[in-house]
């Protein structure tokens, strides 16, 4: 991971998701970067990429998330790689609120829970269930990471507007 440039990774991953090929490994590395930021003290990307942390979190992550939620035809267990990425986005958003005092990723998390995304319509659905099992898994994970609490706190923040969602 230390030899991987986050900007190059984001470009490669974005193109791979667009082309629907060979995106699994880059997404796993992207997820590792998110986890590294969340578990590192201070919460930064590894050197020499520390100065790219905010761009990675607040620009690259939302862009990659949108592409993942558009992904409709996962093969085998590939959808679980996306679920792990979405879980890490939830964890990182919760961390950002509690440790960095920023709600910038909360609207990104809200995008995760829009059930009309192609990812939920075509992956993780059993029989005639209305929702993908992935949606249920992620909702439970968000509750465990205090996301509903952070959302309620965000509404009391004067700088936060409902349009952010």
Per-residue pLDDT, 55: 96
- Mean pLDDT (whole number) for 114-142: 71
Q: In the predicted model, is pLDDT for residue 122 greater than 70?
A: no
Per-residue pLDDT, 111: 87
- Residue bearing the bigger pLDDT, 47 or 2: 47
What tokens were used for 35?
A: 């986890």
Across 3-7, 67-71, 72-76, least confident range:
72-76
- Mean pLDDT (whole number) for 32-55: 94
44 pLDDT band, cuts 50/70/90, is very high
pTM of the model: 0.81
The SS3 assignment for 36 reads helix
Spatial distance between the Cα atoms of 135 and 114, rounded to a whole number of angstroms: 9
- Residue bearing the bigger pLDDT, 87 or 144: 87
- Asked if 7 and 63 touch (Cβ cutoff 8 Å), the reply is no
What tokens were used for 75?
A: 């093969």
Q: In the predicted model, is pLDDT for residue 82 greater than 70?
A: yes
Per-residue pLDDT, 104: 87
Q: In the predicted model, is pLDDT for residue 85 greater than 60?
A: yes
Per-residue pLDDT, 77: 75
- Residue bearing the bigger pLDDT, 78 or 87: 87
How many CB atoms within 10 Å of residue 92?
24
Spatial distance between the Cα atoms of 115 and 104, rounded to a whole number of angstroms: 21
- Residue bearing the bigger pLDDT, 14 or 83: 14
Spatial distance between the Cα atoms of 90 and 84, rounded to a whole number of angstroms: 10
DSSP structure class, residue 125: -
Annotated domain spans of the chain: 6-157
CA distances from 60 to 5, 27, 135 (A): 13, 12, 23
Q: In the predicted model, is pLDDT for residue 103 greater than 70?
A: yes
Closest CA to 109 of 154, 74, 54, 77: 154
The SS3 assignment for 35 reads helix
pLDDT digits (tens, 9 = 90+) for 3-13: 789 999 999 99
Is residue 48 reached through a cis peptide bond, with omega within 30 degrees of 0 on the bond before it?
yes
């Amino acid at each position: 991971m230390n030899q991987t440039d986050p900007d190059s990774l984001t470009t490669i991953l974005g193109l791979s998701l667009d082309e629907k090929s060979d995106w699994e490994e880059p997404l796993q590395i992207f997820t590792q970067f998110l986890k590294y930021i969340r578990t590192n003290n201070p919460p930064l990307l590894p050197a020499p990429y520390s100065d790219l942390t905010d761009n990675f979190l607040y620009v690259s992550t939302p862009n990659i998330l949108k592409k993942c939620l558009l992904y409709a035809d996962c093969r085998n267990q590939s959808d679980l790689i996306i679920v792990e990425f979405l879980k890490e986005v939830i964890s990182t958003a919760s961390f950002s609120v509690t440790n960095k005092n920023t709600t910038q990723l909360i609207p990104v998390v809200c995008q995760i829970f829009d059930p009309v995304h192609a990812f939920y319509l075509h992956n993780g659905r059993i029989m005639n269930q209305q929702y993908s099992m992935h949606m249920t898994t992620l909702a439970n994970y968000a509750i465990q990471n205090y996301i509903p609490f952070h959302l309620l706190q965000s509404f009391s923040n004067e700088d936060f507007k409902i349009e952010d969602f």
